[in-house]
Amino acid sequence: MPPTQLRQRPILTLPQILLLFALIGALIIALDLNRREQAGRLAGVGEEELQAQLDIEATRYVELQATRAYVESEDYIVDYARNEAGFVMPGERRVVPLFIEATPVVITDAAATPDAAYYARPWQAWMRLLTDYPLPLE
């Protein structure tokens, strides 16, 4: 080995490289645990709203089932035939009420009493506006 050539020292030693790998591994594990913790915390968000909506839809389902049962019954057919289609049973008479519109009566208002402030003198009108007392007599 010639004396002019110096041996170069490595940038990192073996223990430093192992420590660097351990720090990078610990950082990756910490980030993964944080991500999993946030995902677990967000798992139950919105559960109450979803349950309330589910209860509303279950109630609506029961109402629709009741409506369906009524629509498929004989009572609905009879009700529709009489009230909507205008059919009558044998031996019955259909009665249709007629509405007669009356002409409106015009009611004339009595002559309005004149405002005393209109005929008052200026000082009387100002006294009325400022104090809300009745007009003083002269």
Model confidence pLDDT, tens digit, residues 52-85: 999 999 999 999 999 999 999 999 988 888 888 8
Domain ranges of the chain: 12-44, 46-102
CA distance 6 to 8: 6
Q: What is the pTM of this model?
A: 0.38
Low-confidence ranges of the chain (pLDDT < 70): 1-4, 109-110, 112, 116-118, 120, 125, 133-138
Q: What letters, b where the CB count within 10 A reaches 16 and e where it falls short, cover 97-130?
A: eeeeeeeeeeeeeeeeeeeeeeeeeeebbebbee
